[in-house]
Amino acid sequence: MKLAVITGGGANFYSIEVALKRMQIEYELTTDKEVISAADGAILPGVGSAAYAMNELSKYDLCDTLRNYKKPLLGICLGMQLLYESSEEGGDVACLGILPGKIRKFIANDDLIVPQMGWNNFSKLQESSLLNEIDLTKDVYFVHSYYAPVNQVTLAACDYGVKFAAMAAQDNFYAMQFHPEKSGSVGEQLLANFIAIVQQQEL
């Protein structure tokens, strides 16, 4: 089994590399759509702005490749946000349109610091094999200023001044707003669950 880690949508891929190496998962950092299509599954990580990331995906001609992807794909942090229809970051940025909804910015106030940076818990809204054996009493690590809405594709929700989607899934697309690779044992179990989904579709 081999994963494609898509590097055309953001930055800071080192932590996901470390996690995959620790789990002994073969992977390739790539912006090549043929490599992505040939892999058994893909991860779209990212830290940065939606507009820049979408420009990068367009530059590498990856937008339609991702929209039409038929194997398991996991979006992490900005990679999750890019899966939605649009983002209000930098005005109004058209995203991949795979998941329904618009990405919005947290509104800072005396009690709410933006970005959310640190540990927070989440609650399960729907059953999914992505959540197998997950201890919901444990927190996960977030770093983000923008959030996805809670709607029909939301698997788990979190609260930070407003309730937002911490995890989502639709068909073969999966998403996590937090960083599983920085979230200790619960994050490693979530990554292991995604890898199990990839392996299952190979059978």
Supply the residues annotated as catalytic: 77, 179, 181
What are the structure tokens assigned to 84, written together? 């939605």
**DSSP line for the chain:** -EEEEE-SS-S--HHHHHHHHHTT-EEEEE--HHHHHHSSEEEE---S-HHHHHHHHHHTT-HHHHHT--S-EEEETHHHHTTEEEE-TTS-EE---SEEEEEEE---BTTB-SSEEEEE--EE-S--GGGTT--TTS-EEEEESEEPPPSTTEEEEEESSSEEEEEEEETTEEEESS-GGGSHHHHHHHHHHHHHHHHHHH-
Q: Tell me the Cα Rg of the chain.
A: 16
How long is the chain? 203
